[in-house]
């Protein structure tokens, strides 16, 4: 009933595409704008401590607007399209494992201010598409770090030092770990999470970002 009412309101008020402003399809992202998203080749982007890191696309145009809209402007509906973009790419990798999805956590105070963790929303949508289970309890951010985009590589490493805490008893047995994030620039966030998981004897990890600024 709730979905029906939301759909009816969308039809009445003609929901416009967040990207081109057209209301023909009455969706947050029309098919034309989604098709403009650029995928990277289906290959390992980088590797850290034996963990493969993948990036689905380049951080420009509509993909940039999608991530910023979801992350900073309360456009929660965009989580579906971000997850869809990632899922299309992910299927090309043809990785035969059963994963638990771990979204990169944000500091609790920041989550309360923003009222949500954007990557948890993406994880939930990615879970629906993939059938993988989400796990929001395994790793927490315990340090209120500065925004990474303002920092150089060495500063990012210092900024993230001791930023995460792993509770190995929250791991879902017999499922590999898939850490997801929106942007992978230097890879510092993934690397710090990998280190913390490795300290607890957890090595079956794959990292996956929506995008990277570098081809």
69 and 99 part of one domain: yes
Look up the domain containing 18 and give its range: 1-36
29 and 44 part of one domain: no
5 and 81 part of one domain: no
151 and 53 part of one domain: yes
Structural domains of the chain, count: 2
Nearest to 108 by CA among 41, 148, 163: 163
Torsion angle defined by CA atoms of residues 19, 25, 28 and 31, in that order, rounded to the nearest 10 degrees: -60
Q: What is the pLDDT of residue 12?
A: 52
CATH code of the domain containing 198: 3.40.50
Would you say residue 34 has pLDDT above 60? yes
Would you say residue 7 has pLDDT above 80? no
46 and 108 part of one domain: yes
76 and 22 part of one domain: no
Q: What is the pLDDT of residue 162?
A: 82
Q: Where are the beta strands (DSSP E) in the chain?
A: 46-48, 51-58, 99-103, 133-134, 139-141, 164-166, 176-183, 205-212
Q: What is the pLDDT of residue 71?
A: 94
Would you say residue 215 has pLDDT above 70? no
1 and 103 part of one domain: no
Average pLDDT of the residues in 124-149: 90
171 and 71 part of one domain: yes
Lowest-confidence pick of 116-120, 133-137, 159-163, 181-185: 159-163
Which tens digit of pLDDT belongs to each residue from 182-194?
Answer: 999 989 999 999 9
155 and 130 part of one domain: yes
As a whole-number percent, the residues of the chain with pLDDT over 90 amount to: 75
21 and 84 part of one domain: no
- Quick count: other Cβ atoms within 10 Å of Cβ 199? 10
Q: What is the pLDDT of residue 151?
A: 65
Q: What is the pLDDT of residue 1?
A: 63
For the chain, the average pLDDT equals: 91
Find where tokens 């579906």 sit. 80
* Eight-state DSSP code of residue 152: -
149 and 183 part of one domain: yes
5 and 77 part of one domain: no
Which tens digit of pLDDT belongs to each residue from 55-110?
Answer: 999 999 999 999 999 999 999 999 999 999 999 999 999 999 999 999 999 998 88
Find where tokens 């993230």 sit. 160
């Amino acid at each position: 009933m709730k979905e029906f009412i939301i759909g009816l309101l969308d039809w009445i008020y003609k929901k416009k595409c967040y990207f081109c402003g057209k209301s023909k399809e009455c969706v947050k992202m029309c098919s034309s704008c989604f098709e403009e998203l650029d995928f990277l080749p289906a290959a390992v982007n980088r590797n850290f401590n034996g963990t493969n890191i993948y990036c689905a696309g380049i951080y420009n145009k509509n993909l940039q607007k999608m991530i910023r809209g979801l992350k900073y402007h309360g456009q929660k509906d965009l989580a579906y399209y971000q997850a869809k973009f990632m899922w299309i790419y992910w299927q090309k990798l043809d990785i035969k494992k059963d994963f638990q999805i771990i979204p990169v956590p944000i500091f609790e105070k920041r989550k309360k201010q923003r009222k949500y963790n954007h990557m948890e929303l993406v994880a939930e949508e990615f879970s629906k598409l993939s059938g993988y289970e989400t796990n929001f309890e395994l790793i927490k951010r315990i340090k209120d770090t500065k925004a990474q985009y303002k920092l150089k590589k060495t500063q990012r490493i210092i900024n993230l030092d001791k930023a995460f805490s792993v509770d190995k008893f929250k791991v879902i047995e017999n499922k590999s770990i898939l850490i997801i994030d929106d942007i992978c620039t230097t890879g510092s966030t993934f690397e710090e999470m990998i280190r913390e998981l490795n300290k607890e004897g957890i090595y079956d990890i794959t990292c996956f970002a929506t995008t990277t600024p570098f081809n």
